Structure 1
């Protein structure tokens, strides 16, 4: 079993000691150094070459976000952020995900958390998970382009002036459902920013994330995308051209209300440790017999989404897309779906929006 070498970065000597002690309890983890700010961290990374970095967001001299940007530019490697649960902390955490951080752990009670033991197991788990991330993908995605893509331009033109008659398949009602986890915020940005404003389907999304962070994620993606992106609210009618993200800590389901589809947000028991759960969302969508369903599973650890996708396929009229290993930061969730033989297309991240749109437009693939 390979030893995971970790660099701990925090401006508090107390927090550095606590985090180091927690991580060192695991036989697979060795803390090879600590740093007190971002500038110190960059120097230590160059000399120590850690496998994973834990990085505090709020630090003097060079804060966590600035350090992260430089790390991803100069020495791309897996970073787990430690953040506060404040509104500003949530916004900074989402930015960190977009800049390339693998995952994050929230400090239970602010900058210096005397009760950090509450998240000890989560921290250990996420450091181990981060060590398995696809470094080639991280290096390739070190700089994400958020400008209008050729794909978006091409579909905007098709939308305004169709190049061919609209097929009967295109007239059928569509819904897109997406499931993702570790590495997902960045993957969602890549996909959603490529979609045209008037996509003829609502999009429902489960991104594994705790309460207090999904609203900031939705706002960030909304500011970058042509489509509208928001956190789902219980009872709201789903609209074409809008993406609805499950609120952290809540399951998102889709239900009928007359001729309309509405979001249902509830707190039933977690499914396989997840709430929101991709399986729960996909299973609810499987009941929509008169809709064509386009289901997408992207980067993430574990197998959430596979059972729900199987139900979708059994319900008929479903096309399934899984992110390919070459681009997935963590290939667990897509791999499980592919292994179950229920995926129609295995697609690199940059082609997922294009594949989705061909089905939404009724052109097939």
Structure 2
């Protein structure tokens, strides 16, 4: 399900683009409804959800939508599609007669729909579970999006070359790895994150990247391939053609990481930290479904047990600080705990990256290709 475009990844969710009182009022819930929906409270009511068709979307159907139906009696219809761009197109096409009540999508999609004036602002006071979400990840898209989960980007490596996970992205510049690394394509957010890594190594930061581009020039001609295709990357690790690569998400390689013959793993425990992208739940303006059911579903998705189940199934980073994880999940290097997220995350300034995107793509291309 890979897609190389920086703003449109069916698995990789990207927040790179940049409401009225009436909209807020439309989402407000009448007293005394506040809190978790009770058994059969919404029997006979129906809402329609739009999200991805990949493993993460299927996990949401299983762990969120089906459990919500069982708990409340509501009927939840799930429409699954391939990409965030597909979702944006569907919401725009149906704007005169909205069909969906909740859309689960990337930050890019949430921001795009908010900028187009097609979203309502949820009443956050009606979401008690939101209080347990890490403060930086509660809302976004100018107040139109409710945080959902975190997609994480780090370093992937060959387990034969590195029996223990590397502690820094600097392995990409190690002479021993010349011709045995992969780098991300220029039009992919991973590339912008690699620029930030290089900028920090040069003593700069996201706003002062010049030194980073100079360091990136040292990688020119040193990579085996420039790609974000998970199947290609997995095959190259299996043939022992690659030692490391990044910035890249281990989540994309989960089918291969689970098979020892691919010799591949990933890490977020890096000196430079790792990157996360917040995914959102949004409510289209003029939605046909009952507001109380919609808000209850959003609240249910933020439940500590639901967040834990989603994290274990698709390696999402849970944002509920009380997320219930099994002992195995707590030990997994692929599921960043709320504590790890709080301490080691590089939270990207999405609006700033959007403003420098074209320039950075060109400079990255010149530096490494």
TM-score by length of 2: 0.28
Higher relative contact order (CA 8 A, sep 6+): 2
Q: Which has the higher helix share?
A: 2
TM-score by length of 1: 0.28
